[in-house]
Amino acid sequence: MTTMNKPSPNKPVVLVLAGHDPSGGAGIQADIETLAAHGCIATSVITSLTAQNTQLFSYHLPQAAGDFLTQARLVVDDVNIDACKIGAIGSQELIRAIHELIADETFPVILDPVLQSTTGHNFSNEEVCSLISELLLPFTTVITPNREEAMQLTGTLTPQAAAEKFFELGCKNILITDAEASEIKIINHLYQENGQTRTFTYDRLPGNFHGSGCTLTSAISANLANKIDLPTAIEQAQVFTWNSLKHGLKLGKGQMHPNRFFKQSEI
């Protein structure tokens, strides 16, 4: 019996390097849902297993760096990757492994520097922040920290100062989310390598959400994989994320899940 090779998919492929959230609200599952909603195919390598739900975070268990790198290299050596999304990492050894993986690649890298989960678990320390800055930022196309993460990674006090520091560290474009204190608006700032800046403002939605950052970063990754220009890719990703939250689902007793298939829900 002969097997014929099937034609390659015409959908872009995104490599996701992130943790696993059993509740499905954040992490790898959130990334895969978001990419699917944008017509992309996800390839994924888990950085850490976690014990969490919509209310609390118990612990995370980082994967051995050598095993992670073997899994990731097998994918990269076999599949044409159009973009790479990095989420929660979990250990200094994994940061080094990711650096080794992406250092010689040409696909865009979108980094969500998850230093703390929305349920309060701390993924970072001074050494982790230093390694992210040294080993990952020079290869990052877009970084998407919230205000607190931007300050922690750069040691600065304002979004503008943080962006300038990120540029010094080699990052090409910076989207700082919820960058200004406001009870009724979400205010995000985009700083581009060409010197242009943009501010995006959205109504703050009621409730707390689990996986909004994963949704945003994966949506940016999907848009860049679909060859959308960077400013448009970032703007459209924010609109998608806001609508996912607006149509959020109450699955557990705590934070709401973004509904990443809200368009299908409206049909």
Q: Quick one: pLDDT at residue 1?
A: 45
For the cut 90, the answer to whether the pLDDT of residue 249 exceeds it is yes
What pLDDT, on a 0 to 100 scale, did the predictor assign at position 61? 94
**Predicted confidence band of residue 121 (pLDDT cuts 50, 70, 90):** low
Is it the case that residue 94 has pLDDT exceeding 70? yes
Residue 267 has a pLDDT of: 47
The pLDDT of residue 129 is 87
Residue 118 is predicted with a pLDDT of 60
Q: Where are the domains of the chain?
A: 13-176+209-259
The CATH architecture annotation of domain 13-176+209-259 reads 3-Layer(aba) Sandwich (3.40)
The sign of the torsion formed by the CA atoms of 212, 263, 29, 103 equals negative
Instruction: Please check the confidence at residue 221 and state whether its pLDDT lies above 70.
Output: yes
Residue 127's pLDDT band (cuts 50, 70, 90)? confident
- In percent, the amount of the chain with pLDDT more than 90 equals 81
Mean pLDDT of the chain: 92
pTM: 0.93
Average pLDDT score over residue span 112-117: 78
At residue 11 the predicted structure's pLDDT band, cuts being 50, 70 and 90, is very high
Give 99's pLDDT tier (boundaries 50, 70, 90).
Answer: very high
